[in-house]
Amino acid sequence: MRVAIADDSALFREGLAMLLTAAGVRVIAQAAEPDKILAHIADEPPDVVILDMRMPPTFTNEGLVTAERIRSLHPGVGVLVLSTYADIRYAVRLLGDGRGGTGYLLKDRVEDVGNLLDGLRRIAEGRLVVDEEIVAGLLAHRRKAEALDRLTERERAVLREMAEGRSNAGIALRLHLAAKTVENHVASVFTKLEMPVSGDDNRRVLAVLAWLRSSGGVIPRLAEGPPPS
């Protein structure tokens, strides 16, 4: 796996590069600002670009803007945006086209190398990755409480994993369940929450997130994007 890292904090960038290198990932480019990393990607596209959310010049949402540019210029390159804060709107905007190959994680996740690598791998495979903090926040929301109460504890766990962007196989692995059991739980969740079943994993993530963000039940139609590359 080859990654490029863009972060204006040299300390964090170096630490992350070191960690990934030790885990067998090739860090092929590093930069402190968006334009430089774009140049590197143009020279040699990595599998995944890791972008800091707040970078020069405005230190607001450069990571997101750069991610969108990379998605349009280099559709084959996966993008992982790391952010100090969990912002649901940024996450949804980033994953919004439903094409997959994008992820939104808190910077804190670097402490768990396994988890980070798992995320990178899933992004490289064209899947969506959503930080557990965002999903937990959505699940905690009172207005969904009634609908969520209809789920069993196991079903809620499955829902959370779906929202974080895991496939049925991934969920089975994480929750130590048989694949068949996961499928049953997923079907049951969709029925109980009156959600239309989606065959496409990435669309499923967005549908679940949309359901969690809405006041329950009403799913905004998603724009049909091109199929994942």
Partner 1 sequence: MPHPYLPRPLTRMAARHRSAALTTAGVMTVAITIAAQWPAWSTTPFPAALNVFVSLTFVLTGLLLLDEDALDSVSSAFVLGGVLWTASWAATWEAGPSAVISSFAYTHFWVCLGWGVLRYPTGRLHDTGERVLLGTAVAVIPVGNLVLIALSRPESFGYDPGVWWYGSAIGLGVFDAVVHTLDALTLVVVVAFGVAIARRHRRASALERRTLGPVALGMLAAFTMAAVVNLFVYYPQGAEIDPIFIPMELALFAIPVAFAVAAVRRHLARARIAQLLSGLSTPPTPAAVREVLRAAVGDGGAELYLWMPERGFHVDADGLPAVPPAAGGTQLALPVRTTAGAPLAVLSAHSSLERDRDLVEVALNASAIALENARLHAMVTAQVDAVRATRTRLVEAGLAERRRIERDLHDGAQQRLLALSARLGLAREQSTDQATVAALEGAREDLRAALAELRGLARGIHPPVLSESGLKAALENVTEALPVEVDLDVPEDRFDTTLETTAYYTVSEALANTVKHADASHVRVTVRLFEEQFLIQVTDNGKGGATISDGGGIAGLGDRVRALGGEFTLSSPERSGTRLTASIPWSGGVEGDG
CB of 10: closest distance to partner 1 in angstroms? Answer: 9
3-state secondary structure the chain: CEEEEECCCHHHHHHHHHHHHHCCCEEEEEECCHHHHHHHHHHCCCCEEEEECCCCCCCCCHHHHHHHHHHHHCCCCEEEEEECCCCHHHHHHHHCCCCCCEEEEEHHHHHCHHHHHHHHHHHHCCCEEECHHHHHHHHCCHHHHHHHHCCCHHHHHHHHHHHCCCCHHHHHHHHCCCHHHHHHHHHHHHHHCCCCCCCCHHHHHHHHHHHHHCCCCCCCCCCCCCCCC
Q: What residue ranges bind partner 1 (CB under 8 A)?
A: 8-9, 11-12, 14-16, 18-19, 22-23, 54, 59-61, 84-85, 87-89, 107-108, 110-113, 137-138, 140-143, 145, 213
Nearer to partner 1, 116 or 129 (CB): 116
Q: Nearer Cβ to partner 1, position 41 or 88?
A: 88
Residue whose CB is less far from partner 1, 86 or 172: 86
Cβ 77 to partner 1 shortest distance, Å: 23
C-alpha 85/C-alpha 111 separation (Å) is 16
Measured from the CB atom, is 130 or 138 closer to partner 1? 138
Which CB sits closer to partner 1, 138 or 171? 138
Q: Shortest approach of partner 1 to residue 159 CB, angstroms?
A: 16
Q: Which residue has the tokens 């724009």?
A: 223
Residue 136 or 187 having the CB closest to partner 1 = 136
Smallest gap from Cβ 48 to partner 1, in A, equals: 17
Exposure of 53 in the CB half-sphere (CA atoms within 13 A):
19
Least CB distance to partner 1 at residue 19 (A): 5
Output the smallest distance, CB 202 to partner 1, in A: 22
